[in-house]
Amino acid sequence: EQDLQHLRELMPNFTMVIDAIEPMLQLQRSGDRALRMAPLLLLGPPGVGKSYFAEQLARVLRLHYVAVSMETTTAVWVLTGLHQSWSSGTPGLVFNTLARAPHGNPLILIDEIDKATDSKYPPANALYGLLERLTAARFQDEACPDIRLDASAINWVLTANDIERISLPLRSRMQCFEVPEPNAAQRQSIVAQLYRTLLENEAWGHHFSDTLDAPTLRTLSAAQGSVRDLRRTLVQACAYAQRAKRGTLTPGDVIAALRIGTPPIDLATVKPGGHA
> What pLDDT digit, counting tens, does each position of 220-257 carry?
998 887 888 888 899 999 999 999 999 999 999 999 99
Instruction: State the pLDDT at residue 108.
Output: 94
pLDDT band per the 50, 70, 90 thresholds, residue 156: very high
pLDDT of 39 over the 80 cut: yes
Residue that wins the pLDDT comparison between 235 and 74: 235
pLDDT band per the 50, 70, 90 thresholds, residue 262: very low
pLDDT of 264 over the 70 cut: no
List, for residues 194-227, the tens digit of each pLDDT value: 898 889 889 999 999 999 999 999 999 988 878 8
Q: Return the SS3 of 29.
A: helix
Fold of 2-178: Rossmann fold (3.40.50)
What average pLDDT is seen over the chain? Answer: 85
Degrees, nearest 5: CA angle 158-73-69: 40
For the ranges 83-87, 166-170, 185-189, 264-268, the lowest mean pLDDT is seen at: 264-268
Q: Return the SS3 of 107.
A: strand
Q: What is the number of alpha carbons within 13 Å of residue 245 lying toward its C-beta?
A: 1
- The residue among 135, 94, 105, 109 whose CA lies nearest residue 35 is 105
Phi/psi of residue 150, each to 5°? -95, 105
Instruction: State the pLDDT at residue 194.
Output: 87
For the ranges 10-19, 198-207, 240-249, 260-269, the lowest mean pLDDT is seen at: 260-269
What are the start-end ranges of the H helices in the chain? Answer: 2-10, 15-29, 50-60, 77-80, 93-100, 127-130, 133-136, 168-171, 184-201, 214-221, 227-243, 251-259
Q: Tell me 121's DSSP state.
A: B
- The residue among 106, 133, 113, 128 whose CA lies nearest residue 41 is 113
Q: Could you tell me if residue 81 is left (phi over 0), alpha (psi between -120 and 50 degrees) or otherwise beta? A: left
Q: Are 208 and 249 in contact (CB under 8 A)?
A: yes
List, for residues 83-112, the tens digit of each pLDDT value: 666 666 778 888 889 988 888 899 999 999
List, for residues 116-125, the tens digit of each pLDDT value: 766 666 777 8
Spatial separation of the C-alpha atoms in residues 138 and 136, rounded to whole Å: 5
Spatial separation of the C-alpha atoms in residues 35 and 25, rounded to whole Å: 7
Q: Where are the domains of the chain?
A: 2-178, 184-269
Phi/psi of residue 71, each to 5°? -65, -30
pLDDT of 17 over the 80 cut: yes
pLDDT of 269 over the 60 cut: no
For residue 81, the Cα-to-chain-centroid distance in whole angstroms is: 24
pLDDT band per the 50, 70, 90 thresholds, residue 274: very low
For residue 13, the Cα-to-chain-centroid distance in whole angstroms is: 15
pLDDT over 70, % of the chain:
86
Fold of 184-269: Helicase, Ruva Protein; domain 3 (1.10.8)
Read off the pLDDT of each residue in 150-178 and give the average, rounded to a whole number.
Answer: 93
Residue that wins the pLDDT comparison between 80 and 48: 48
For the ranges 51-55, 64-68, 72-76, 196-200, the lowest mean pLDDT is seen at: 72-76
Instruction: State the pLDDT at residue 276.
Output: 43
Pairing of β 107-111 and β 148-149: unpaired
Pairing of β 148-149 and β 139-140: antiparallel
